[in-house]
């Protein structure tokens, strides 16, 4: 594999400062136990955006340079005021150790899976002490890429991770390892300056544990993945409502509910091949029952009466 150095100097020369609500940025960062890694990317604009123009780059353990092995090209499209959830591709239920599978509940949140082989691309293997960059460009021309958002501080090794207290390294509780960080609603654009003096994780993000106990049962704490509350969102009443749709329980055993849609919205259930296998009309809290032959990962696509469309993931065991 050809390796191209992507250094701070390149970032500085290619730096672009945008206007509020004009460019993609990271809206949620999940650094969960084991291989539960995810990034949610938010589109604050009024138009859909082709993700093939963007990539994720990881700067590991204080490195100030990156190669093509540290980057991965994104795919898919983000709708206006919508999000895209990228999840580490560890899906083998029999995997152990470094190949342990991502939990089902996090798989259900994914819009795309990335980096199944660490030796090919390790961009999604961040672990709390790595800077992560969302950049516009391609991995075939990393030197020409433009940073649109930077999580962490490139070139700084914070040890276990960045902390809650100044100087945010070796002071206070670590909040970037074994945590999820949700971008504050007041943030309207990404960080594009690679020469920041320090990274204050709680300045722009709210930090929550990635797992929670309900009784003695452990659950993934990523219910917020799939939607983002941002002051950029000036959607109409119906669009704002449909963006709050929830699908639960998830995973489930063949019966689940869709909540948050307006009456009359069309709900479609699609299999992993994109085939529509069930269509229903929303009527308040809408119950959907699947036959016993339908098991695995499915997509719930909701069409609002004003043309708004969103997609949710659901796992049926």
Query: Before 77, cis peptide (omega within 30)?
Result: no
Domain spans, the chain: 6-220, 237-316
* Residue 144 DSSP SS3: helix
DSSP letters for 195-253: T-S---HHHHEEEE-SEEEETTEEEE--TTTT----TT----HHHHHHTT-EEESSSBS
Q: What is the mean predicted confidence (pLDDT) over 197-224?
A: 79
The reported pLDDT for the residue numbered 313 is 77
Residues in the chain: 317
- 6-220 has CATH 3.50.50.60 classification: no
The reported pLDDT for the residue numbered 142 is 85
Q: Which CATH number applies to 237-316: 3.40.50.620, 2.115.10.20, 3.50.20.10, 2.60.40.10?
A: 2.60.40.10
- 7 has a pLDDT exceeding 80: no
The reported pLDDT for the residue numbered 18 is 63
What is the distance between the alpha carbons of residues 127 and 160, in angstroms, rounded to a whole number? 8
Q: What is the mean predicted confidence (pLDDT) over 60-78?
A: 94
pTM of the model: 0.75
Identical fold between 6-220 and 237-316 = yes
Residue 185 confidence class, pLDDT cut points 50, 70, 90: confident
The reported pLDDT for the residue numbered 68 is 95
The reported pLDDT for the residue numbered 296 is 81
The reported pLDDT for the residue numbered 4 is 36
The reported pLDDT for the residue numbered 214 is 60
Q: Give the full edge-to-edge strand order of the sheet including 296-303.
A: 276-281, 266-270, 296-303, 309-316
Residue 52 confidence class, pLDDT cut points 50, 70, 90: very high
State which of 6-15, 132-141, 254-263 shows the largest mean pLDDT: 132-141
Q: What is the mean predicted confidence (pLDDT) over 110-133?
A: 96
The reported pLDDT for the residue numbered 12 is 45
């Amino acid at each position: 594999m050809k390796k191209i150095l992507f250094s701070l100097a390149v970032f500085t020369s290619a730096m672009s400062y945008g206007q509020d609500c004009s460019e993609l940025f990271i809206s949620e960062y999940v650094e969960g136990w084991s291989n539960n890694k995810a990034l949610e990317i938010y589109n604050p604009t009024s138009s859909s955006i082709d993700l093939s123009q963007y990539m994720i780059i990881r700067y590991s353990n204080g490195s100030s340079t990156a190669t093509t092995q540290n980057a991965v090209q994104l795919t898919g499209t983000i709708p206006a005021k919508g999000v895209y959830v990228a999840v580490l591709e560890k899906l083998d239920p029999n995997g152990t150790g470094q190949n342990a599978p991502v939990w089902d509940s996090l798989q259900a949140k994914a819009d795309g899976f990335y980096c199944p082989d660490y030796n090919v691309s390790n961009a999604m293997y961040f672990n709390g002490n790595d800077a992560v960059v969302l950049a516009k460009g391609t991995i075939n021309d990393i030197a020409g890429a433009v940073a649109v958002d930077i999580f962490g501080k490139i070139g700084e090794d914070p040890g276990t991770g960045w902390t809650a207290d100044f100087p945010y390294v070796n002071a206070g509780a670590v909040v970037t390892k074994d945590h999820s960080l949700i971008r504050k609603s007041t943030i309207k654009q990404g960080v594009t300056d690679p020469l920041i003096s320090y990274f204050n994780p709680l300045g722009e993000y709210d930090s929550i544990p990635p797992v929670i106990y309900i009784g003695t049962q452990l659950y993934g704490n990523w219910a917020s993945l799939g939607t983002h509350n941002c002051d950029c969102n000036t959607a109409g009443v119906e669009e704002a409502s449909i963006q709050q749709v929830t699908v639960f329980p998830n995973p489930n055993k063949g019966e689940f509910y869709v909540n948050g849609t307006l009456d009359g919205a069309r709900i479609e259930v699609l299999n992993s091949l994109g085939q529509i296998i069930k269509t229903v009309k929303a009527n308040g809290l809408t119950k959907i029952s699947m036959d016993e032959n339908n098991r695995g990962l499915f997509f719930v696509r909701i069409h609002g009466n004003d043309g708004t469309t969103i997609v949710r993931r659901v796992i049926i065991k």
